Amino acid sequence: MDWKQISVLVTGGAGFIGNNLVRALLDRGARVRVLDDFSTGRRSNLEDMLDRIELLEGSVSSGMDCARACAGMHFVLHEAAIPSVARSVADPARSNAANIDGALNILIAARDAGVKRVVYAASSSAYGDTPTLPKHEEMPPRPMSPYALQKFAGESYCRLFSSLYGLDTVGLRYFNIFGPRQDPKSEYSAVIPKFTTLMLNGQAPTIFGDGQQSRDFTHIDNVIFANLQAIACADRLNGEVMNIACGERYSLIDLVNILNQILGTRIEPRFAPGRPGDVKHSLADISKAKRLIGYEVKTPFREGIRQAVEWYRSHPSA
Alpha-carbon distance of 262 to 310, in angstroms, equals: 10
CATH of domain 3-178+220-248+283-298: 3.40.50.720
From the list 3, 5, 45, 41, the residue with the least C-alpha distance to 25 is 3
* Phi, psi (degrees; rounded to nearest 5) at 199: -70, -30
CA angle 77, 215, 237 (to 5 degrees): 30
Three-class DSSP category at 4:
helix
Which one from 127, 147, 157, 295 is the annotated catalytic residue?
Answer: 147
Alpha-carbon distance of 294 to 244, in angstroms, equals: 11
Other beta carbons within 10 angstroms of residue 280's beta carbon come to 15
| pLDDT tens track, the chain, 318 positions | 899 999 999 999 999 999 999 999 999 999 999 999 999 999 999 999 999 999 999 999 999 999 999 999 999 999 999 988 889 999 999 999 999 999 999 999 999 999 999 999 999 999 998 889 999 999 999 999 999 999 999 999 999 999 999 999 999 999 999 998 898 876 556 899 999 999 999 999 999 999 999 999 999 999 999 999 999 999 999 999 999 999 999 999 999 999 999 999 999 999 999 888 778 899 999 999 999 999 999 999 999 999 999 999 999 877
Q: For residue 295, indicate whether it is catalytic.
A: no
Alpha-carbon distance of 171 to 141, in angstroms, equals: 14
Could you tell me the residue ranges of all domains in the chain?
3-178+220-248+283-298
pLDDT single digits (tens) 110-137: 999 999 999 999 999 999 988 899 999 9
Alpha-carbon distance of 118 to 89, in angstroms, equals: 28
DSSP-derived letter for residue 282 is: -
Going from the C-alpha of 20 to that of each of 12, 43, 162, 184, the distances in angstroms are 11, 13, 27, 16
Half-sphere exposure in the Cβ direction for 148 (13 Å, CA): 19
Alpha-carbon distance of 32 to 8, in angstroms, equals: 5
